[in-house]
A and B are shown apart, each in its own frame.
Chain A
Amino acid sequence: MNGQGTAPVARELARAAAARDFVRLRAHPECIRYTWEPEYDGDALVTVHLRARAPGYEVSQRVDRYVVTLSCESYDVSPPEVKFVDPTTRTYTAGATAYLPRIEGFPNLGIHTSFNNFYQVGRVDQLVCFSFTRGYYDSAHTPNADERWTQGRHWLFSTIKVLQRAFQPPYYRGPLG
């Protein structure tokens, strides 16, 4: 990550890191506590389920559910590529809002339905933007040294936990679409 975006790592290495950290994630007490229900495709894709509560949901016990994919093609040299996806098809379309959350006031977290300022010319894509996502480094963002993704220190948990923290009052404001 040299300011020009990330690069894929050898597939076998990415796959090994994803497999290793999927096992770690599944066993982590907070994964169980928040019922992330992680899934692994056996290659480089991990999927988790996130539950969100907005202010005022307590009375009705309402919980909103989201599905997030973490693509590990550059893992763990770089963080996973994070996407909110359709829960049924597990795919997404840039610009679509139906399966994205509205987050307000959470420091340094940006969720863009359609972002076009990537290093890759012409790329228009959904961007979940903070220093533990790959898309952050593939666009024009540079973190402070102590905020930078660090191989061997940060892992899937680090990324997911930021989203989980944003999915609670007062930050989570309901579905975007």
Chain B
Amino acid sequence: MSDQGHVDFTVTYDDTGATKTVHAPNGWTIRQVVEKAYQELGETPRPDDRVEFDGQSLTPYYDLHVKEFVERGIAPNRHFNIASRIGGASR
């Protein structure tokens, strides 16, 4: 959903299933959207976190502004996921 000058992104934190909406001004970068999402979710970024849309990494788009991100048709459903590292057999 969007209004004049803003775009809504939903972000799910995969560890907990919590989902928040970020009402992002067009002038923000995607990096700012992700930072705001962490704040809204009450989570702290961890070095191995992976931020994705439709299974693809969002990182290459961090410096794009919201307006351009939307105009280029990236992540058309405007939904991101944040996945943290799980513990595995290697430790």
Interface-facing stretch out of B1-9, B15-23, B24-32, B59-67: B15-23
* Minimum Cβ distance to chain A for residue B49 (Å): 11
Let me know if A142 and B89 touch, CB within 8 A: no
| A113-135 interface (Cβ within 8 A of B) | 129-132
**Structural contact, A142 and B88, CB atoms closer than 8 A:** no
Whether A28 contacts B91 in the complex (CB less than 8 A), given A107-B85, A108-B85, A162-B86, comes out as no
Verify A130–B86 contact, CB threshold 8 A.
yes
| CB-contact partner of A141 in B55, B85, B91, under 8 A | B91
Cβ-defined contact, A158 with B14, below 8 A? yes
Specify which chain A residues have a CB less than 8 angstroms from the CB of B83 in the assembled complex. Answer: 161, 165
**Segment of A12-20, A63-71, A90-98, A146-154 in the binding face:** A146-154
Contacting residues of chain B (22-70) with chain A, CB-CB under 8 angstroms:
46, 55
**Residues of chain B lying within 8 A (CB to CB) of residue A162:** 14, 86
Instruction: Please classify how large the interface on chain B is, using the bins under 10, 10 to 19, 20 to 34, 35 or more.
Output: 10 to 19
CA distance A96 to B83 in the complex (A): 30
Q: How large is the interface on A (under 10, 10 to 19, 20 to 34, 35 or more residues)?
A: 20 to 34
Contacts of A158 in B (CB 8 A): 14-17
Q: Would you list which residues of chain A between 98 and 112 have a CB under 8 Å from chain B?
A: 107-110
* Chain A residues within an 8 Å CB radius of B89: 108, 110, 129, 141
Q: Given A141-B87, A143-B87, 13 other A-B contacts at CB below 8 A?
A: A24-B17, A30-B17, A109-B86, A129-B89, A130-B86, A130-B88, A144-B87, A154-B15, A155-B16, A155-B17, A157-B17, A161-B14, A162-B86
Chain B residues near A (Cβ < 8 Å): 12, 14-17, 19, 46, 55, 83-91
